[in-house]
């Protein structure tokens, strides 16, 4: 794997595609085991999670459904500031076992702001599966139940994640090369 430049920034290889695929097999096996007979509904948060969601879902062997949502933020009336709502969520979530699929949990703000809306719909359970987390950057009380990789607090791209629109199609994960940028 070679270093790459996207827009104005340099990135170096961080995770090979084989390592990513091997970890996804492990996550799928874990979810299979935990959700036997529960017919979970995966909710993949667009855009970033679409590749992770597709690869993970291919390896789920129990009965399961998947749907795709976009999150939009608007100014809320509460002191917590912005509220995040789901666009494209047509399923009835009542009594369903929900597994949210995210590309990355950085500060945790996005999911922290979105969870109340999800809870309002009275699902039986909510768990979070994320391809990446940045433990050092976390600022909100969000814990993922299934984590692909914990990574340092640096910008990454590839495998669905973009830098200003580019890089989502890379099958590997790249990390910002601060020395070269």
Residues lying near ligand XMP in the complex (CB under 6 A) are found at: 48, 102-110, 155-157, 161-162
- In sequence order, what are the beta bridge partners of 97? 125
Helices 17-34 and 50-58, packing angle to 10 deg: 60
Name the region of 55 (left: φ>0; alpha: ψ -120 to 50; beta: rest).
Answer: alpha
For Mg ion, the closer of residues 145 and 162 by Cβ is: 162
Q: How far is the CB of 65 from ligand XMP (least distance, A)?
A: 22
Residues 110 and 101 sit within 8 Å (Cβ to Cβ)? no
Total residues binding Mg ion (CB under 5 A): 1
- Is 106 in the active site? yes
For ligand XMP, the closer of residues 38 and 109 by Cβ is: 109
Q: How far is the CB of 39 from ligand XMP (least distance, A)?
A: 26
- As given in the structure block, the two tokens for residue 106 are 């950085």
Shortest CA distance to 22 belongs to which of 61, 55, 62, 57?
Answer: 55
Residues 109 and 81 sit within 8 Å (Cβ to Cβ)? no
Q: Which does 107 bind (CB under 5 to 8 A by kind): ligand XMP, Mg ion, none?
A: ligand XMP
* Closest residue by beta carbon to Mg ion: 162
Q: How far is the CB of 69 from ligand XMP (least distance, A)?
A: 12
Which residues inside 117-176 make contact with Mg ion, applying CB under 5 A?
162
Active site members: 106
Interface with Mg ion by CB under 5 A: which residues? Answer: 162
């Amino acid at each position: 794997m070679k270093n790459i430049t996207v827009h104005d920034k340099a990135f170096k290889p961080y995770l090979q595609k084989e390592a990513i695929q091997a970890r996804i097999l492990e996550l799928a096996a874990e979810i299979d085991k935990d959700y036997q007979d529960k017919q979970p509904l995966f909710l993949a948060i667009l855009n970033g999670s679409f590749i992770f969601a597709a690869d993970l879902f291919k390896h789920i062997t129990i009965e399961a459904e998947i749907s795709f949502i976009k999150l939009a933020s608007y100014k809320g009336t509460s002191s917590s500031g912005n509220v995040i709502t789901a666009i494209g969520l047509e399923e009835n979530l009542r009594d369903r076992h929900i597994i949210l699929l995210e590309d990355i949990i950085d500060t945790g703000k996005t999911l922290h702001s979105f969870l109340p809306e999800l809870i309002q719909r009275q699902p039986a359970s909510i768990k979070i599966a994320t391809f990446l987390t940045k433990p050092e950057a976390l600022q909100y009380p969000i814990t993922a139940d299934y984590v692909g990789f914990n990574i340092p607090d640096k910008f990454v791209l590839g495998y669905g994640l973009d830098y200003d629109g580019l890089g989502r199609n890379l099958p590997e994960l790249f990390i910002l090369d601060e020395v070269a940028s």
